[in-house]
Amino acid sequence: MEERPEHVHHPIESSNRRRPIASASAVAASHAGPDAHGSPQHAHVLPDTLSALLWAGFGINRPDKGGRMAPSAHNWQEIDIYAVLAEGAYRYDARAHRLLLVKAEDLRQHTGTQNFVATALVNLVYVADFVRMSEAQDDERGFLAGADAGCIAQNIYLYCAGSGLATVVRGLIDRRRLTHALGLTATQCIALAQTLGYPGPEA
Ligand SMILES: Cc1cc2nc3c(=O)[nH]c(=O)nc-3n(C[C@H](O)[C@H](O)[C@H](O)COP(=O)(O)O)c2cc1C
C-alpha cells in the first residue's frame, strides 16, 4: 500500500504548476531587490519556483498512467527527489505534487563535499530505491539508476536555463554521511545531487 504521510510542511502546490517557469524577473521582483551584483538578496526559493522545477524534473504529466516528465528504465520510477533547503529536507511526492517533511533542520552541508552546498538555495538529492528495481541484474542496477537520475537532472538544467537559475549536478557526495543525515533505508542509494542557486556576478 502506498505510503501517505499525513503532514505536508512545504506549500509547493500552485495553480500554475504546469506553466514552464517562473521567470527570473518574477523571482527577483518578489524579493527586496537586487544586490550590488544584480542578484536577488535573499537565499530563499519561492514555492512557485520549487513547484515548477520539481514538476519539470520528475512531475507527472500523464496522470492517467502516472507518466513522468523523465524516463526511467522499465518505468520503475525508482528515483525519489529530496529537496534540501535551509528550513528542512523534504521528499517530493509527485503523485500529490507536494513536499513531505523528512527533517526539520538545515542539512545542506551534508549534501556534498564542496563548500557551496552549505549555503545554496536548494540542493536536490536523487535517491534510488532498489526495491523498485528488483528485476534488474545486480551489475546493471547502479548504472540504470544513475542514468535515470541523470535524465531528471537534465530536465532541471533546462528549467534553470529558462528561468535564470544556475545549477550543477554533483557526484562528489559523502554518501554514507548523507544517507545518515536523511535517514535513508538500506535499500535507498544516493545517485546524484544537484545544486541550484542564483548566478554569481561572474556568470
Ligand atoms: C555525472 C556528473 C557528475 C558531476 N559531479 C560534479 C561534482 O561533484 N561537483 C561539481 O562541481 N561538478 C560536477 N559535475 C559538473 C561538471 O563538472 C560540469 O558539468 C562540467 O564541468 C561543465 O560545466 P557546465 O555544466 O557548467 O557547463 C558533474 C557532472 C556530471 C554529468
User: Which of 95, 147, 121, 146 is CA-nearest to residue 24?
Assistant: 121
Closest residue by Cα to atom 25, ligand 1, is: 168
Closest residue by Cα to atom 4, ligand 1, is: 170
Q: What is the pLDDT of residue 200?
A: 84
How far is residue 133's CA from residue 185's CA, in Å, rounded to a whole number? Answer: 15
Answer whether 124's CB lies under 8 Å from 115's CB: no
How far is residue 59's CA from residue 42's CA, in Å, rounded to a whole number? Answer: 27
Is the CA virtual torsion 154, 22, 114, 57 positive or negative?
A: negative
Q: What is the pLDDT of residue 42?
A: 38
Q: What is the pLDDT of residue 146?
A: 98
CA 57–ligand 1 middle distance (angstroms) = 18
Cell of 163: 528561468
User: Which of 117, 80, 133, 69 is CA-nearest to residue 102?
Assistant: 80
The CATH H-level (homologous superfamily) assignment of domain 8-197 is NADH Oxidase (3.40.109.10)
**Which protein residues touch ligand 1 with a CB less than 6 Å away?**
114, 168-172
Closest residue by Cα to atom 29, ligand 1, is: 169
pTM, full prediction = 0.82
- Domain ranges for the chain, please list them: 8-197
Which DSSP helix (H) or strand (E) runs through 32? Answer: none
Is the CA virtual torsion 12, 16, 21, 25 positive or negative?
A: negative
Per-residue pLDDT of the chain (203 residues; tens, 9 = 90+): 344 334 444 555 433 333 222 222 222 323 323 333 333 333 456 688 999 999 999 999 999 999 999 999 999 999 999 999 999 999 999 999 999 999 999 999 999 999 999 999 999 999 999 999 999 999 999 999 999 999 999 999 999 999 999 999 999 999 999 999 999 999 999 999 999 999 988 64
